[in-house]
Structure 1
Amino acid sequence: MARDADVEKVLQALQAEASDKVRDEMGPRYGIVTPKAMGVPMNRMQAIAKRLGRDHELAEALWETGWYEARTVAALIDDPGQVTPAQMDRWRADFDNWAIVDTVCFKLFDQSPHAFARIDAWATLNDEMGRRAGFALLACVALHGRGGDADYLSRLPLIEAAATDSRNFVKKAVNWALRAIGGKKSPALRAAARELADRLAASPDRTARWIGRDAQKAFAKADAKAAG
Structure 2
Amino acid sequence: MAQRTPPPETSVNEVLAELADLEDPQARAVNERRGNDIGVNLSKLRAIAKRLKTQHEFAAELWDTGDTQARLVALLINSPKKYSAEQLNTMLREARVPKVHDWFVSYALKKNPESETRRIQWMSDPDEVVASAGWTLTSHAVAKNVDNLDLEGLLDTIETEMPQAPKQLQWAMNECLATIGIHQSEYRARALKIGERLAVLKDYPTPPNCTSPYAPEWINEMVSRQQA
Distance 1:26 1:155, change over 3 A: farther
Q: 1:20 aligns with which of 20, 25, 45?
A: 25
Q: Which runs of 5+ in 1 are unaligned?
A: 203-207
Distance 1:172 1:136, change over 3 A: same
- Give aligned-pair identity as a percent: 24
Secondary structure, aligned partner of 1:210: coil
Using the size of structure 1 for normalisation, the TM-score is: 0.79
Q: CA deviation at 1:225?
A: 3.0
Kindly report which structure 2 residues correspond to 1:37-116, keeping only aligned pairs within 5 A, or say none. 37-116=37-116
> Measured at CA, do residues 154 and 104 of structure 1 come closer, stay the same or move farther in structure 2, by a change above 3 Å?
farther
Letter in 1 for 2:148: A
In structure 2, which of residues 12, 17, 20 is the aligned counterpart of residue 7 of structure 1?
Answer: 12
Amino acid at match of 2:123: A
Structure number with larger C-alpha Rg: 2
Q: Give, in whole Å, the separation in 1 of the partners of 2:126 and 2:192.
A: 23
Q: Compared with structure 1, are the counterparts of its residues 193 and 50 closer, same or farther at alpha carbon in structure 2 (3 Å cutoff)?
A: farther
Deviation at 1:113, TM superposition (A): 0.6
Find the partner of 2:193 among 198, 201, 221: 198
1:209 pairs with one of 190, 196, 199:
199
Question: Which residue of structure 2 lines up, in the alignment, with residue 121 of structure 1?
Answer: 121
Q: Structure 2: how far apart are the matches of 1:39 and 1:23? A: 4
8 A contact 1:59–1:74 mirrored in 2: yes
Displacement of 1:194: 4.5
Aligned residue number for residue 173 of structure 1: 172
Per the alignment, residue 156 of structure 1 pairs with 154
Output the amino acid matched with 2:181: G
Contact kept, 8 Å, 2:12 with 2:62, in 1: the verdict is: yes
Q: 1:107 to 1:190 in 2, by over 3 A?
A: farther
Task: Check conservation: 1:98, 1:169, Cα contact below 8 A.
Answer: no
Contact 1:98–1:129 (8 Å) recurs in 2: no
Quote the offset at 1:120 in angstroms.
1.0
Judging by fraction of residues, say which structure has more helix: 1
* One-letter identity of the residue aligned with 1:110: K
SS in 2 for 1:164: helix
Structure 1 residues 25 and 211, CA gap change in structure 2 (3 angstroms): closer
Counterpart-to-counterpart distance in 2, 1:154 and 1:114 = 24
DSSP 3-state at the match of 1:50: helix
Residues 83-129 of structure 1 deviation map (CA, whole Å, 9 limit, x = unaligned): 11111111111121322111111122101111222221211112232
Compared with structure 1, are the counterparts of its residues 75 and 201 closer, same or farther at alpha carbon in structure 2 (3 Å cutoff)?
Answer: same
Give the stretch that moved more between structures: 2-11 or 162-171: 2-11
Take 1:193 and 1:116, find their aligned partners in 2: how far apart are those partners? 24
Q: Identify unmatched segments of 5+ residues in structure 2.
A: 203-212
Q: CA deviation at 1:178?
A: 2.7
* Contact in 2 for aligned 1:171/1:211 (Cα 8 Å): no
Alignment deviations for residues 4-56 of structure 1 (CA, whole Å, 9 cap, x no partner):
9621122122222221111111122xx124xxx35112212211111112222
Give the SS at the match of 2:217.
Answer: helix
Shift in CA distance, 96/121, structure 1 to aligned 2, threshold 3 Å: same
Please provide the CA RMSD for this pair: 2.7
Aligned partner of 1:32 in structure 2 is 35
